[in-house]
Chain A
Amino acid sequence: MSLDNYLYLSAILFTIGAVGVVVRRNAIVVFMCIELMLNAANLSLVTFSRINGTLDGQVVAFFTMVVAACEVVVGLAIIVTIYRSRRSASIDDASLLKR
């Protein structure tokens, strides 16, 4: 099986994530879509590592996971706090900075 297919899969996953971020309003879903995009990136990193026969891509993938973990912690905390104060998880409601 050609390694290209992994890249196609990665692209599809990334696109799904990006579309999800743009079209969905629920903060939790948007958040999950961001995770999907990160993992799509990880997949392509690992694939490139395989294609090039080096470990660089895999190392970066680990870094991405760490960043993603941190991001989850901070992001979920923000979402929970917003939900507590506003009783809503819709990201369109949190548009107060405009005014």
Chain B
Amino acid sequence: MATNNGLVYLIALPLFGALALLLLGRKADKWGHLLATAMSAGSFAVGLIQLSQMLDREAELRPVTQKLFTWISVGSFNVDASLLLDQLSICFVLLITGVGTLIHIYSISYMSHDKDRRRFFAYLNLFIAAMLLLVLGDSYLNLYVGWEGVGLASYLLIGFWNQKPAYATASKKAFVMNRIGDMGLSFAIMIAFASLGTVSFSGVKEEAEFASEATMTAIGIMLLVAAVGKSAQFPLQAWLGDAMAGPTPVSALIHAATMVTAGVYLIVRSNFVFDAAPTAQLLVVIVGAITLLFGAIIGMAKDDIKKALAASTMSQIGYMILASGLGPAGYAFAIMHLLTHGFFKAGMFLGAGSVMHGMNDEVNMRKYGGLRKFMPITFVTFGLGYLAIIGVPPFAGFYSKDMIIETALNAGGAKGIILGSVTLLGAAITAFYMTRVMILTFTSPKRWDDNQHPHESPALMWVPMVILSIGSVISGYLLYRGKAFKHWLEPLFEEHGEHTELLPPIVVSGLALTMVAIGVAIAVIKYQLSEIDNVAPEKVSIFTRIARRDLLQDDVNEALFMRPGQALTSALVKIDDSVVDGAVRGVGKMALGSGSALRETQTGFVRSYAVLILIGAAALIAAIWVVTT
């Protein structure tokens, strides 16, 4: 494989930005945001150069590597810190740096009133660097470093306003839940090392043919645990909603476009593991299908615009995970949906940020309404993103989501029918809740107080939104046209023959569009054509109440893990107190007691000591005599 010494600059530029801003401190306050944006843009430029070079080469010669240094060298076990840029990672590099740069630009304005703006940009750059390392690492160990790095950046950015205790708790919650996933990844690495003797992607790929299916299943399940944690999939999904505590650009970049999709990347990157482990692959599909509906149902009940979008993110990533669990047929579509989703969801989050910017940081959609007139650019860009996510042709989401639905239907047998109906149902619910967001925010009558003065955001904010909305219009068609994206990624995956078609593609598209139309129609009847209260109605069915409580995810976690955990720890404290500390204290007490008992023999009279010495000497002599005779 060819080497290319330019890869390191992709990571080095934003890393330099982060370090400079953090180390220079307040001195960099005036220009820190510009440096960070320039570093991110520079990284994007390097990515574009790499892409153009890659396009010039033959498909087999496209991947390039760069060895940075030998990281671990123990006997026959060698791990280099090396980077690998292939057809899959270049997609991510461009998504991360491209969307990242736009969000940097947006944040210059969005965070302009925050006195900690420099620190914010330092963390953003740190995130970009870590995420690039994640997608560029050529082994699971290198990936793991980036994986932890994005977790750290996510934690720091969710808790950016950690002066509010609820936000600090949210960041801690995200970090702790992610830790469970990280544990899965480290287990996967350990299993790979112990049973395959290698942790590099290429090494594991070679060994995958010879390894037993049980080993591959174990690695696959552990990788799935990792993906579930990072991508907020069922059952580790509870942190994503609370992660919206972070500034909105963070939600757009980390918790919509890039970091949460790392799980999808991990599964697609490990395609050779999952292809060799059908059980793990089935679990991936199940997790994806559950989360897809789970997130969509939560999204229907949320009044907080950011939490509604977060639930939608969870659901859309459910689509990607589901597709990536469908084997070689689905990998390309998972990544394709990931890319289009990166555009439209980041755009919508930025739109939500713009709305909040104009509405004094109000997030309750029931207090919005009629903003179409006051924020025309936000309305249009958000609206384009909306059309993309619900899957209206020819917007981006139509192509990518349609492909996933089609692949799910064609998975064969009962599995195909179940998955197909789940994805179709998901499409309908998506259409419903996104229409609801649109109507509540932009097109329904106004419900805000007179002291609100909604206004359009400055150009620094709407330009990135416009660019992202253009992406959400055209990216789907560009990637779909002539199956361009599928062919682009094809060299990475092993195709297994032709797949049967349950229904012709045109029928599937028709079905999907019908479902979307139903979802939109219900939402329009329920919200556009009827009065909306500016407080959430109290008299609602039990189902709505459960959905508002995030389908009881926190209650379940509390009942199943937190309370038993607390009971366990308090029991451990008690055991520690009585057994461990008791033993220590007992030793002390014994020494004290025996000491004071022995002290009684110390009378202070010389003659009694003399008697004792005499007896001792006599006993000694007697003992010697007994022993020797």
Contact = CB atoms under 8 A, between A and B. Distances in A.
Contacts of A91: 605-607
Contact of A22 (B602, B603, B604, B607): B607
B601 to A, nearest CB: 11
A99 B604 contact: yes
Contacts of B604: 95-99
A95 B605 contact: yes
A21 B607 contact: yes
A92 B607 contact: yes
A94 interface: yes
B605 A22 contact: no
A94 B606 contact: yes
A18 B614 contact: yes
A22 B606 contact: no
A95 B602 CA distance: 10
Contacts of A22: 607, 610-611, 614
Contacts of A94: 606
Interface in B589-609: 602-607
Contacts of A97: 604
B612 to A, nearest CB: 10
A91 B604 CA distance: 10
Contacts of A23: 607
Contacts of B602: 98
Contacts of B611: 22
Interface in B230-255: none
Interface string B610-627: 110010000000000000
A59 B610 CA distance: 28
A97 B607 CA distance: 14
A1 B131 CA distance: 107
A25 B606 CA distance: 10
Interface in A80-99: 91-92, 94-99
A30 to B, nearest CB: 8
Interface string A6-30: 0000000000001001110100001
A4 B423 CA distance: 114
Contacts of B610: 21-22
A92 B603 CA distance: 10
A22 B615 CA distance: 12
A21 B612 CA distance: 12
A80 B605 CA distance: 19
Interface in A13-49: 18, 21-23, 25, 30
A18 to B, nearest CB: 6
A88 to B, nearest CB: 14
A95 B607 CA distance: 10
Contacts of A92: 605-607
A25 B602 CA distance: 18
Nearest to A18: B614
Interface string B514-526: 0000000000000
A98 B603 CA distance: 6
B9 to A, nearest CB: 80
Contacts of B614: 18, 22
Contacts of B607: 21-23, 25, 30, 91-92
B615 to A, nearest CB: 10
Contacts of B606: 91-92, 94-95
A86 to B, nearest CB: 14
Nearest to A96: B604
Interface in A43-99: 91-92, 94-99
A50 B270 CA distance: 96
5 contacts: A21-B607, A91-B606, A92-B606, A94-B606, A98-B603
Given A21-B610, A92-B606, 13 more contacts: A22-B607, A22-B610, A25-B607, A30-B607, A91-B605, A91-B606, A91-B607, A94-B606, A95-B603, A95-B604, A95-B605, A95-B606, A98-B603
In the A-B complex, the 4 residue pairs with the smallest Cβ-Cβ separation, listed nearest first, are: A98-B604, A95-B604, A91-B606, A21-B610
